[in-house]
């Protein structure tokens, strides 16, 4: 049989690409070895969503235990491995079934199950049967990057891929890499009574706004999660399994005892299947594509993580859509502007889009910040009148149920939201949040940034109060100013979160 395109890999990019292709009237065929939806429901987005909820529950139970009407809860025997087991037994299966049903039955896309062997750019063999396509699209995903250090293959060393497979709770975990995967994993494991230390070679979450970073790391410090920046990991030691991580820090050799290591230093695209066709591959192992997801070989495309960063679900799926349009004869291009970013840091999550404050100041000079918490603790508050142990520090950042609950524990534990505005044009240039429930809004905020949304337009929207992102009502407080100056706003956070 001959189709218009063979989608080699049915992950997020291939599945959405094939669906879009079919909707455009094309004949699409997916070749998939394992399961549709790729790693998402196995060990990435869907799994992390589930596991973060489990971790949030544990962390909140710890915080609320015995307070107000909450019963005292014994958390000594809670287990991350049990949480993973539940996901393996229910989540992975349910998602896999749904993906299959939606793709094959509901969308009517043909899927060939098995390991595909690419014979040439128009021919793929699966289980001894030949399939021909006018175009070939690689959606082969990515894998964890592994450092080349002694001990990396010891039992107890894991990556995000092994996380759902865990069978036993470690006591002490070292996370190598303080990017968004590593910081997320640290926040997910710590609530399960696991002592977590993050070792980062340079700076943790370097692309994030300073206030968001400080908020997350201040919270880590409070919870006993240790962070070291500027650490060069040299070796993982152990006889039969992991026993410690050895690293250089401030010119000294340090040893961090642990019984588990989570490696999270980055992702490597799976470009190898494309190489025999003469497809060009970049320094990071990514398949090189143009704005239309075309490789250098005519009729061969690459989508999703296989084509390199940004590694983000929306980009994976959109690359699939753009490739589909181009296969169908359009001239579609990827737009990488204003892509939001998100990390689970249970019990909260962080989301960001646009410029950080530092980037905005560099580009626009003085900028206006619209944010809460807003300035230091009010001097005229009367903490002695609060319910004991629930003294508040500032204006609430609200979200889903537990963020308002968290507010009562003070120290602005419930979150922080921050919009950055160029006062001359009155346009927003960045939005940032750490809290709970704001990420949905960021899907639309990224579009508002793109169209040049102003504080005056924002002030005209209809908030549904209480809400997680706060930007409508907070903007309305300043939008009346003819010359936009905002109000004195600084966030009241200590910055001593790093181990030195
Ligand atoms: C979600 C994966 S589990 S996909 O993007 O819907 O294919």
Give per-residue pLDDT as tens, 381-434.
676 666 665 555 556 666 665 667 777 666 677 888 999 999 999 999 999 999
Dump the DSSP string for 426-466: TEEEEEEEEESS-HHHHHHHHHHHHTT-BHHHHHTS---SS
- 12: CA distance to ligand 1 center in Å? 5
Q: Whose CA is nearest to atom 1 of ligand 1?
A: 37
- 37: CA distance to ligand 1 center in Å? 4
Q: Which atom of ligand 1 is nearest to the CA of 95?
A: 3
Specify the pTM. 0.95
**Whole-angstrom Cα distance, residue 152 to residue 381?**
53
Q: Please report the pLDDT score of residue 495 as a whole number.
A: 58
Dump the DSSP string for 260-307: EEEE-S-EEE--GGGGGGT--B-TTSPBP--TTSB-SSTTEEE-GGGG
Q: Which of 91, 99, 316 to mutate to test the pocket of ligand 1 (most atoms within 8 A of CB)?
A: 99
Closest CA to 493 of 415, 427, 425, 419: 415
- 209: CA distance to ligand 1 center in Å? 29
Q: Please report the pLDDT score of residue 388 as a whole number.
A: 62
**Whole-angstrom Cα distance, residue 196 to residue 126?**
44
Q: Please report the pLDDT score of residue 393 as a whole number.
A: 53
- 38: CA distance to ligand 1 center in Å? 7
- 215: CA distance to ligand 1 center in Å? 31
**Phi and psi, residue 228, nearest 5°:** -115, 125
Angle between the N-to-C axes of helices 180-189 and 45-64, in degrees from 0 to 180, rounded to the nearest 10: 40
Tokens of 243: 């026993």
Q: Whose CA is nearest to atom 2 of ligand 1?
A: 37
Convert 98-108 to b/e letters by CB count within 10 Å (16 or more is b): ebbeebeeeee
The string of pLDDT tens digits covering residues 442-466 is 999 999 999 999 999 999 999 998 8
Tokens of 249: 């820090």
The string of pLDDT tens digits covering residues 263-312 is 999 999 999 999 999 999 999 999 999 999 999 999 999 999 999 999 99
Tokens of 309: 């960063």
Averaged pLDDT of the chain: 93
Q: Please report the pLDDT score of residue 54 as a whole number.
A: 96
Q: Which residues line ligand 1 (CB under 6 A)?
A: 12, 15, 37, 40-41, 46, 95, 99, 317
Residue 102 has pLDDT above 70, yes or no: yes
Least confident of 97-111, 294-308, 366-380, 434-448: 366-380
Residue 332 has pLDDT above 80, yes or no: yes
- 134: CA distance to ligand 1 center in Å? 25
Residue 99 has pLDDT above 90, yes or no: yes
**Whole-angstrom Cα distance, residue 33 to residue 22?**
21
Q: Please report the pLDDT score of residue 375 as a whole number.
A: 67
Mean pLDDT of 357-381: 84
Residue 62 has pLDDT above 80, yes or no: yes
Tokens of 27: 């004949």
Q: Which atom of ligand 1 is nearest to the CA of 316?
A: 5
Q: Which atom of ligand 1 is nearest to the CA of 102?
A: 6
Tokens of 336: 């990488």
Q: Please report the pLDDT score of residue 24 as a whole number.
A: 98
More confident residue, 324 or 467: 324
Q: Number of H helices and number of E strands within the chain?
A: 12, 22
Question: What proportions of the chain, in percent to the nearest 5, are helix, strand and coil?
Answer: 30, 25, 45
**Phi and psi, residue 63, nearest 5°:** -70, -40
Q: Please report the pLDDT score of residue 387 as a whole number.
A: 64
Q: Which of 12, 16, 36, 104 to mutate to test the pocket of ligand 1 (most atoms within 8 A of CB)?
A: 12
DSSP character at residue 190? G
Q: Which atom of ligand 1 is nearest to the CA of 45?
A: 3
More confident residue, 391 or 237: 237
Least confident of 64-73, 128-137, 297-306: 64-73
Mean pLDDT of 181-193: 98
Least confident of 186-190, 210-214, 314-318: 210-214
Q: Which atom of ligand 1 is nearest to the CA of 10?
A: 7
- 109: CA distance to ligand 1 center in Å? 15
Q: Please report the pLDDT score of residue 317 as a whole number.
A: 98
Which residue(s) pair with 6 in the sheet? 29, 136
Q: Please report the pLDDT score of residue 436 as a whole number.
A: 87
Q: Whose CA is nearest to atom 5 of ligand 1?
A: 12
Q: Which atom of ligand 1 is nearest to the CA of 11?
A: 7
Residue 493 has pLDDT above 80, yes or no: no
Residue 437's pLDDT band (cuts 50, 70, 90): confident
- 112: CA distance to ligand 1 center in Å? 18
More confident residue, 206 or 377: 206
């Amino acid at each position: 049989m001959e189709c218009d395109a063979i989608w080699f890999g049915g992950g997020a990019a291939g599945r959405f690409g094939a669906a879009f292709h079919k909707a455009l009237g094309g004949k699409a065929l997916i070749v998939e070895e394992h399961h549709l939806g790729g790693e998402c429901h196995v060990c990435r987005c869907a799994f992390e969503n589930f596991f973060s909820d489990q971790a949030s529950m544990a962390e909140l139970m710890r915080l609320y235990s015995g307070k107000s009407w909450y019963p005292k809860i014994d958390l000594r025997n809670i287990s991350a491995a049990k949480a993973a087991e539940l996901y393996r037994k229910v989540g992975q299966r349910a998602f896999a079934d749904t993906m299959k049903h939606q793709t094959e039955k509901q969308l009517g896309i043909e899927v060939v199950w098995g390991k595909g062997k690419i014979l040439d750019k128009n021919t793929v063999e699966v289980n001894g049967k030949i399939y021909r396509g006018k175009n070939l699209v690689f959606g082969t995903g990515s894998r964890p990057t592994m450092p080349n250090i002694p001990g990396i293959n010891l039992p107890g060393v894991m990556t995000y891929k092994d996380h759902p497979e865990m069978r036993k709770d470690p006591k002490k975990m070292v996370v190598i890499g303080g990017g968004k995967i590593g910081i997320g994993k640290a926040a997910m494991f710590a609530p399960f009574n696991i002592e977590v230390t993050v070792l980062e070679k340079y700076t943790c979450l370097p692309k994030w706004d300073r206030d968001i970073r400080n908020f997350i790391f201040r919270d880590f410090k409070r919870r006993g999660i240790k962070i070291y920046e500027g650490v060069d990991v040299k070796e993982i030691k152990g006889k039969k399994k992991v026993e410690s991580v050895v690293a250089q820090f401030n010119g000294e050799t340090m040893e961090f005892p642990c019984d588990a290591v989570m490696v999270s230093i980055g992702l490597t695209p799976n470009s190898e299947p494309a190489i025999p066709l003469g497809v060009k591959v970049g320094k990071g192992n990514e398949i090189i594509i143009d704005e239309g997801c075309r490789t250098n070989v005519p009729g061969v495309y690459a989508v999703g993580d296989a084509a390199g960063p940004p590694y983000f679900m929306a980009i994976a799926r959109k690359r699939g859509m753009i490739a589909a349009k181009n296969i169908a004869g359009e001239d579609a291009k990827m737009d990488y502007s204003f892509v939001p970013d998100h990390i689970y840091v249970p019990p909260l999550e962080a989301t960001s889009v646009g410029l950080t404050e530092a980037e905005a100041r560099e580009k626009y000079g003085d900028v206006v910040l619209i944010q809460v918490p807003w300035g230091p603790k009010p001097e005229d508050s009367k903490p002695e009148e609060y319910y004991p142990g629930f003294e508040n520090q500032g204006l609430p950042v609200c979200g889903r149920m537990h963020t308002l609950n968290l507010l009562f524990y003070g120290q602005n534990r419930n979150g922080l939201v921050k919009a950055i505005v160029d006062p001359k044009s009155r346009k927003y240039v960045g939005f940032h949040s750490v809290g709970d429930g704001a990420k949905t809004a960021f899907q639309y905020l990224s579009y508002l940034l793109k169209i040049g949304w102003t504080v005056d337009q924002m002030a005209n929207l209809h908030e549904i109060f209480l809400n997680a992102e706060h930007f409508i009502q907070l903007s309305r407080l300043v939008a009346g100013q003819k010359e936009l100056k905002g109000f004195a706003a600084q966030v009241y956070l200590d910055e001593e979160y790093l181990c030195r």
